[in-house]
Amino acid sequence: MLRSIAFNFSHVFEGVIWNTKVSDQNQIIVLEVRDTNKKEVRFSALNYSSDEFLWKDRMMDEPWWISLSGIAGDIMLLTLYTNKNNPDNKAVVAYNVQDGELVWWNNDFSVQTLGKNSVIGFSEKFGKREQILDVLTGNTIEVKDLNFENPEIVLRPQHYPADHPYFDTVKTFLNQKFNLLPIAALEYLEHDSLIFISCYLQENDMANYLFIMSADGNLLLKEKLDDHLKGIGLDTFFVLSGCVFFVRNKVELVSYKIL
196-213 per-position pLDDT tens digit: 999 999 999 999 999 999
Place 167 in a pLDDT band, splitting at 50, 70 and 90: very high
Q: Is the confidence at residue 150, as pLDDT, over 80?
A: no
Mean pLDDT (whole number) for 139-145: 76
Closest Cα to residue 3, out of 199, 246, 242, 226?
242
Closest Cα to residue 45, out of 22, 28, 63, 33?
28
- What integer pLDDT is reported at residue 88 of this predicted model? 83
- What integer pLDDT is reported at residue 57 of this predicted model? 97
Place 85 in a pLDDT band, splitting at 50, 70 and 90: confident
Pick the CATH number of 5-145 from 2.120.10.30, 3.40.50.970, 2.40.128.630, 3.90.78.10: 2.40.128.630
Task: Work out the burial of residue 18: count CB atoms within 10 Å of its CB; fewer than 13 is exposed, 13-18 middle, 19 or more buried.
Answer: middle
Q: What is the pTM of this model?
A: 0.93
Mean pLDDT (whole number) for 244-253: 98
Mean pLDDT (whole number) for 133-160: 81
- What integer pLDDT is reported at residue 47 of this predicted model? 97
- What integer pLDDT is reported at residue 128 of this predicted model? 85
What three-state secondary structure class fits 176?
helix
Q: Do 109 and 121 contact (CB within 8 A), yes or no?
A: yes
Segments of the chain assigned to CATH 2.40.128.630: 5-145
| Per-position DSSP letters for 66-104, written without gaps between them | EEEEEEETTEEEEEEES-TT-TT-EEEEEEETTT--EEE
Q: Is the confidence at residue 23, as pLDDT, over 80?
A: yes
Mean pLDDT (whole number) for 67-78: 95
Q: Do 127 and 95 contact (CB within 8 A), yes or no?
A: no
Place 166 in a pLDDT band, splitting at 50, 70 and 90: very high
Mean pLDDT (whole number) for 12-30: 94
Largest CA distance in the chain: 61
- What integer pLDDT is reported at residue 144 of this predicted model? 52
Q: How far is CA 70 from the centre of its chain?
A: 10
Q: Is the confidence at residue 250, as pLDDT, over 80?
A: yes
- What integer pLDDT is reported at residue 244 of this predicted model? 98
Mean pLDDT (whole number) for 17-24: 93
* pLDDT tens figures, 116-128: 889 999 998 878 8
**What is the residue type of 76?**
M
Place 99 in a pLDDT band, splitting at 50, 70 and 90: very high
Minimum mean pLDDT among 150-164, 173-187, 219-233, 237-251: which range? Answer: 150-164
Report the DSSP beta bridge partners of residue 200. Answer: 183, 208
